[in-house]
Structure 1
Amino acid sequence: MDKIFINGKIATIDSKNSFAEAVAVENGKITKVGSNEEVLELKDDNTEVVDLEGKLLLPGFNDSHMHLLMYSYHIQNVNLVGTTSIGNIIERTKKFIKERNIASGKWILGIGWNQDYFTEGERVFPTRYDLDKISTEHPIVFTRVCYHIVIANSKAMELAGITKDSPQIEGGKFDLDENGEPIGIFREKAQGLITSHIPESTVEEIKEMLIEGMKNANKCGITSVQTDDFEAIPGKNYENIIKAYKELNEEGKINLRIYEQCLLPSMGRLKGFLDSGYRTGHGDDFFKIGPLKLLGDGSLGARTAALTKPYADCPDTYGIPVFTQEEIDELVEIAHNSDMQIAVHCIGDKAMYMAFEAIEKALAKSPRKDHRHGIVHCQITDEYLLNKFKELNAVAYIQPIFLDYDWKIAESRIGGELLKTCYNWRTLLHSGVHLGFGSDAPVESFNVLNGIYEAVTSKDLNGEPEGGWKPDQTLTVEEAVYGFTMGGAYTSFEENGKGSIEEGKLADMVVLSRDIFEIPEDEIKDVEVEMTIFNGKIVYKK
């Protein structure tokens, strides 16, 4: 026996929600779960015994939707999270360039600004002219926290060939001033007009980034991720990204189970991918091809989420659907008929109507009982959409941490009446819909304890609002933990191999500093990960 963990409070998350004291691990699998005495009978001279000292042991956390490569890429660039003004952005970036002695002409990239957190009276988007105050010799591109808007300076626009004569594109737009001059704000698909000119990373560089990203995920107790990577970095070369993961796997350097959510937004890219032989389930326990990922709309914060009615605080816009109905119908049908699972990013109700219509059409033409097609984010819903999840047996990829920001803006964006049926996770769960919980990192932190806390309390990380934002939609701690373990395993067709601590399953587990089933709910966010076990090996220890 390789390892035995004893003296723990082991929440198995099995069908009976049972608890145990000890667990034995061999060759990356769980071989025995039971009392200390039962499990210690398997000890031999080569067994490492780990005393949990009464700590809570859970299945390893599964983030059902994030962007691992994007996170890994951007932690080496300017961190704009927490900036409080355009001036603050300028100051922070100048310091970044000076400290790193970045040569003239090199691209400067940043992520994380959010104008809603700027000082009162300054809550506007930066423009090219603001970024020009940082440098006119470096091309600069800054991505909003939601990843649905980028701001470019004049040098970046010059290299991209963007002028007042440049045509707008379907599924996106770039903003113009009163004279018709582009001001550096690029929304949705228009982002590609700029980002396509940023130099591409090599396979070795991608591997180095991923190693750092995986290490940070392990610190949060994460052992599995469902990650959207194919358009995360310049070049959008999915073959290089797949190669990087496969090489890390062969080298024994992969410390997360990867289920790739394959963002392939055009028919050409999708057909090329399918022609290469890729399908959902292709791979092994460490790296596996997951669903076709489609981006149906934008974000609520940027007012690009596609709504059926105009924004309450901006009546001249309904947001931006990325596809026409015909385009999404065709992509979904091709993927469905090619044995691909489908996951569609939908924040606005309009985008969700379009996605469900496409899925329903594909299923009508070619029925498949256990398709596990689903909606990523699922925020702005009405009664019809809530019922459609169950009717189509669709899965819901939920990010509880979104409450941290959205409770401050949602009602002003969509109005109080529609809000009653939005963020209705308890309603979905109790109607029999399968929920997988995640973070959408790096849009938000992938700290799972924060996600569990917000699902359970409906409060932000500052404890607001008092009593919770949507107290009628809060979940129990058990339900939230299930969403980050077995719920995530279900969305990737892996519930029989991981997600709970049961004999025969993969030995992925996490030890917490406190028992989240017993402490006050408001303290869950303060709990720390003590140890992360991946494939039977301790990959993180506090």
Structure 2
Amino acid sequence: MHKTQYPIISKGGYEMKLYQNGVILTMNAAGERAGSMAVEGERIVRVGDEEELAKEFPHAKKVDLRGRTVMPGFIEGHVHLLNYAYSLTKIDCAPLKSIEEMIEAGRKYIRERQVPAGKWVQGRGWNQIFFAEKRNPTTADLDAISTEHPIVFTRVCEHMVVANSMALSMAGITKETENPEGGEIEHDENGNLTGLLKETARYLIYRMIPDKSVEEIKEMLVNAISIASSLGLTTMHTDDFETFSDKDWRKVMRAYRELEQEDRLNMRIREQCLLPQIDRLKEFIKEEILERHDTSMVQAGPLKLLTDGSLGGRSAFLRAPYSDAPDTCGIAVFTKDELNELVTTAHEAKMGVVCHAIGDGAMEMCMDAFLKAQEKRPDPDARFGIIHLQITQPDILKRFKEQNVIAYMEPVCLNSDLHIAESRVGAERLPSTYNYRTLCDMNVMYTMSSDCPVDSLNPFDSLFVGVNRCDYSGYPEGGWMPEQKLTVEQMLRGFTINGAYASFEENLKGSLEEGKLADFVILSQDPTRCDPMKLRDIAVEETVLGGRTVYRKK
């Protein structure tokens, strides 16, 4: 990402506030705790001893924390905010425990909302792992919901969809339709369509769904951001450009900027720009990166690339075949030459690059592409990143350190993935999966993320899974691969100062220190002193963005 920092302009006229009678987790380099914090306008004026600050600022408005804990606002390392906002309008399949329940949920949605025939019905979040039938849904299952509505349900990973007959027909998909590059149209043993579409094949369906206007996008974002604020988030690194079939990045950036101009944007947005075609990337660089429209609220960049799929959908690109599907290694979305060209083009424009890579095969391609780009324009502080990094063989771990690549960790994914990892990769490769603690011990720079709406947006769900290495129910007792448990402090650094580092903003936010932005949260209790099994019980009681309260628990 471009390293020229935006100016921070104080609007003035703010009353100084002195937060006291609580615990201040500064998240500074020394990990210090303090008793009081002075804030004026959008900046932190001082952090330190309560008595000393009370004497220094005798006229400041006193804010009694009543023993509660203050820490920097959470920085979400990788999320799909607009997709999450859109998902709130769809059928939520995540809680469903069977395909029969999914069918009934679809019928109920149509019945209660009186959806006219011919109108699209969408759902998201299904996971066959948790279905009683232990299989993927099919066209026949969705036809049981309705044959008078085009229906598409997206898997929890967002890398696979299932469509009914009407939707397939509208998209012109038949059993003779060829796979698009980087995608798969699944067939059964008889050569008939199953209704499952993987990776780029999803867009054959998505392109048929009506797009949203800028105003519709804005209202969806305001709703989703209000939820995010209630969870303590103050910055989101978000991938939004291909949420809708038009893939109109101008519309997305316009929506965010108009919300900022209207003073309705209560979240700092760092757009991870999904631009997988070289022509679109060059166009974006010309209009956005070279012009630099960045503000303290909205920034464009880095380039985001999806280089493989998901482990659950068996589309993550592995070096060796899947243990439970030995005929496939998954899907590499790009050839090596395509990936190298995209990464180098962005790097030469000082745009920055982060890549979704789950399999070891995909990560190897990314690391090679980063090296190629550095040969063209050496930059010791490029801050390339890899998102998800689930199948990390020892040589891949070593390259994170050697190449100074940021690891965008996602511990919360283990809530579901710990149930399938061994079946997908086998016992021999299992020790080389989800090696978060190993990366921390190697002093690799890392951030924390949720990939929402794939997994929970709540940072305390992430803390619970990352610290305990178990699912939400507490399974397995003692933790899954417990040697990879993270400490609460490691998790919090990933969600704060390290998240700021990822966007070259570690001197502006991410810790509670003099002169930094007053982005912070007030918590019901101190997560560093909490029973690890009760981390999900911690409540966000107030969220402050630039000195302004954007959420207060009622």
2:286 is the alignment partner of 1:275: yes
Secondary structure in structure 2 of the residue aligned to 1:283: coil
Q: Distance in 1 between matches of 2:433 and 2:353?
A: 22
Structure 1 residue 351 corresponds to structure 2 residue 365: no
Q: Which residue of structure 2 lines up, in the alignment, with residue 30 of structure 1?
A: 44
Shift of 1:86: 1.4
Q: SS where residue 231 of structure 1 aligns? A: coil
Assess if the C-alpha contact under 8 Å between 2:348 and 2:376 holds in 1.
no
- From 486, 500, 511, the equivalent of 1:475 is 486
In the other structure, the counterpart of 2:19 is: 5
- TM-score, with length taken from structure 1: 0.97
Within the alignment, does 1:322 sit opposite 2:333 as a pair? yes
Q: Return the offset for 1:44.
A: 7.4
Contact 2:522 2:541 in 1 (8 A): yes
Q: 1:110–1:19: structure 2 CA closer, same or farther, 3 Å change rule? A: same
> Is residue 180 of structure 1 aligned with residue 191 of structure 2?
yes
Distance 2:419 2:185 in 1: 27
- The alignment's TM-score, normalised by the length of structure 2, stands at 0.95
Q: Does 1:73 align with 2:86?
A: yes
Match of 1:96 in 2: 109
Shift of 1:178: 4.4
**1:127 maps to amino acid:** T
Q: Does 1:115 align with 2:124?
A: no
CA 1:467–1:276 in 2, change beyond 3 Å: closer, same or farther? same
Shift of 1:14: 0.7
| In 1, Cα distance between equivalents of 2:443 and 2:125 | 35
Counterpart-to-counterpart distance in 2, 1:430 and 1:84: 38
Structure 1 counterpart of 2:222, from 211, 215, 220: 211
Letter of the structure 1 residue corresponding to residue 300 of structure 2: I
- Contact 2:43 2:517 survives alignment (8 Å): yes
Q: 1:269 to 1:222 in 2, by over 3 A?
A: same
**CA deviation profile, 1:18-51 (whole Å, cap 9, x unmatched):** 1111112122111121223333346577x54321
Q: Deviations over 1:386-439 (max 9, x none)?
A: 000011111010111011111111111111222212211121122121100010
Aligned residue identity for 2:39? V
Deviation at 1:231, TM superposition (A): 0.7
> Paired residue for 2:266?
255
Query: Whole-Å Cα distance in 2 between the matches of residues 413 and 534 of structure 1?
Result: 42
Contact 2:289/2:351 (8 A) holds in 1: no
State which drifts further: 241-250 or 74-83: 74-83
Contact 2:289/2:301 (<8 A) preserved: no
CA RMSD in angstroms, aligned pairs only: 1.5
Alpha-carbon displacement from aligned partner over 1:158-211 (angstroms, at most 9, x marks no partner): 211112332221111111234533231100111111101110000000000000
Structure 1 unaligned residues grouped into runs of 5+:
none
CA offset digits 1:201-247 (Å, max 9, x no partner)? 00000000000111111111111110011112232111000000000
Mapped partners of 1:51, 1:279: distance in 2: 46
Comparing 445-454 with 300-309, greater Cα deviation is found at 445-454
* DSSP 3-state at the match of 1:240: helix
State how far apart, in whole Å, the 2-side matches of 1:536 and 1:25 are. 7
* 1:269 aligned counterpart, secondary structure: helix
Whether the 8 Å CA contact 1:279–1:290 is kept in 2: the answer is: no
Residue 345 (structure 1) shift: 0.3
- Number of aligned residue pairs: give it: 539
Aligned to 2:408: 397
CA contact (8 A) 1:459 1:466 kept: yes
1:516 lines up with 2:530 in the alignment: no
Find the counterpart in structure 2 of residue 139 from structure 1: 150
Cα pair 1:23 1:32 within 8 Å, conserved: yes
Q: Is the 8 A contact 2:240 2:272 kept in 1?
A: yes
User: In structure 2, what residue type is equivalent to 1:116?
Assistant: I
State whether residues 398 and 436 of structure 1, in contact with CA within 8 Å, keep that contact through their aligned partners in structure 2: yes
Sort the Cα spacing of 1:112 and 1:455 in 2 relative to 1 into closer, same or farther, 3 A.
same
1:57 is aligned to 70
Matched, 1:18 2:32: yes
Q: Give how far 1:3 is off.
A: 2.4
CA pair 522-51 structure 1, distance change in 2 beyond 3 A: same
Q: Distance in 1 between matches of 2:55 and 2:182?
A: 62
Gaps of 5+ in 2: 1-14
Check conservation: 1:7, 1:36, Cα contact below 8 A. yes
Which aligned pairs between 1:165-204 and structure 2 lie closer than 5 A? 165-204=176-215
Query: Secondary structure of 1:454's match?
Result: helix
Tell me the distance in 2 between the aligned counterparts of 1:313 and 1:158. 32
Which whole-Å deviations, capped at 9, do the CAs of 1:117-171 have from their partners, x for residues lacking one?
001xx11111112111111121111100000101111111121111233222111
Specify the alignment match of 2:466 in structure 1: 455
Contact kept in structure 1, 2:138 and 2:163, CA below 8 Å: yes
Aligned to 1:484: 495
Q: Name the counterpart of 1:531.
A: 542
The letter for the 2-side match of 1:527 is I
* Secondary structure of residue in 2 paired with 1:446: coil
Partner secondary structure for residue 551 of structure 2? strand
Amino acid paired to 1:375:
I
Alpha-carbon separation, structure 2, partners of 1:452 and 1:286:
26
In structure 2, relative to structure 1, the CA distance for the partners of 1:114 and 1:4 (3 Å cut) is same
Shift of 1:365: 2.4
Within a 5 Å distance, the mapping from 1:343-382 to structure 2 comes to: 343-382=354-393
Q: Is the 8 A contact 1:347 1:377 kept in 2?
A: yes
Q: Secondary structure of 2:289's partner? A: coil
Letter in 1 for 2:487: T
